[in-house]
Amino acid sequence: MLTANETKIASGPLSQMSQFDHEQVVFCNDNATGLRSIIAIHNTTLGPALGGTRMWAYASENDALTDVLRLSRGMTYKAAVTGLNLGGGKAVIIGDARKDKNEAMMRRFGKFVDSLGGKYITAEDVGINTKDMEYVHMETKHVSGIPPALGGSGDPSPVTARGVYMGMKAAAKEMWGNDSLNGKKVAVQGVGHVGSVLVDFLVKEGAKVWICDIYEDRLAAVKNTNPSVEIVNGDQLFELDMDIYAPCALGATVNDDTLSRLKCAIICGAANNQLADENVHGKIVMEKGIIYAPDYVVNAGGLINVYSEVVGFGRDYALSLADKIYDNTAAVFAMARAEKMPTYMAANRMAEQRIAAMANLRTRR
């Protein structure tokens, strides 16, 4: 039986790291600038750990640690399944992005990133913008997602939308034996940077598209470009008689409530963490006969875009890699079918298999 002190150690940072086999976690503090940050490196088997920096007013240090460990692990899986030579990493800065951020803090953070010598490459995430990345870039070259004027790859959303569209076509092929979306009824939730470009692809292919968003101006802009789309409000969305639900706004929209109402054959969209609980809702979706295109497989275009900056290739090649998301998604479906497992589980397994195969390769001459 553990003593009180040993129990404390068992739930400490090292134990949390060992739960999902994280390689390294760096705690960064600078009283002068107010920087309090955690950089997590999950796995570098495939390459340097790449992942954005999130600034958030976490309720506790432990919440920040839990988040950065979870997010960095997710990056390992996304890079691996997409076939990129990148590992998984992530950073969090504890604080309110609207009040607490300043140039000195971001540059100090850049110095910490630099001290890792390229093992971790940072990028933008929630609460961090391109200007912040410019400051980070003043102190380290291990940063992606810098402004195009400084040699950056620019807005990733068109590449992400292209990948989601390709994943959707692969899902259509799996469901109907034909990847055409012509005449298919698709509901797109959230028409921001990614959703609006996805709508362009869908309308061009002849799909019947419903859109919803919390901002009237977003809806009006999309309706203006694509007059055939129909606007619905958020509550109505899950009552529609649709073929495909495309979540492009928030996470966790595939949950007990929506699954009791959703009438669709396919779920495929850009949002991260669409399944409220992977183990529960991934299984329910399978039992209902719905094909779920795993979010991190189909929305990898954003990562492909920052990877283009690291490796040094242009937008055309990035888009051609996004097209390969079709084959990746199809491979996930094939494994799920063969092994009778939920698609999210098949995606995880594919990522793990690639990491294991490449780890094995590294020991060979």
Which residues form the interface with ligand NAD (CB under 6 A)? Answer: 156-157, 160, 189-195, 212-215, 218, 234, 248-250, 270-272, 299, 302
Angle between helix 278-287 and helix 343-362 axes, rounded to 10 deg: 120
Q: Which residue is nearest to ligand NAD (CB)?
A: 192
Report the residue number, 125 or 139, with the smaller CB distance to ligand NAD.
125
User: Which is catalytic among the residues 78, 90, 169, 184?
Assistant: 90
In whole angstroms, the minimum distance from the beta carbon of 77 to ligand NAD comes to 14
In whole angstroms, the minimum distance from the beta carbon of 248 to ligand NAD comes to 5
Strands of the sheet containing 24-30, edge to edge, are 24-30, 35-43, 87-94, 49-56, 120-124
Q: How many CB atoms lie within 10 A of CB 346?
A: 23
> Looking at this protein, which amino acid is placed at residue 266?
I
Distance (Å, whole) CA 113 – CA 123: 11
**Six-digit token pair at 363?**
């020991």
Question: Cβ distance 120 to 93 under 8 Å?
Answer: no
Report the residue number, 94 or 191, with the smaller CB distance to ligand NAD.
191
What stretch of H or E contains 74? helix 61-82
Tell me whether residue 90 is one of the annotated catalytic residues.
yes
Question: Cβ distance 312 to 289 under 8 Å?
Answer: no
Report the residue number, 6 or 316, with the smaller CB distance to ligand NAD.
316
Strand, coil or helix: 119: coil
Report the residue number, 36 or 54, with the smaller CB distance to ligand NAD.
54
In whole angstroms, the minimum distance from the beta carbon of 264 to ligand NAD comes to 16
Positions annotated as catalytic residues are 90
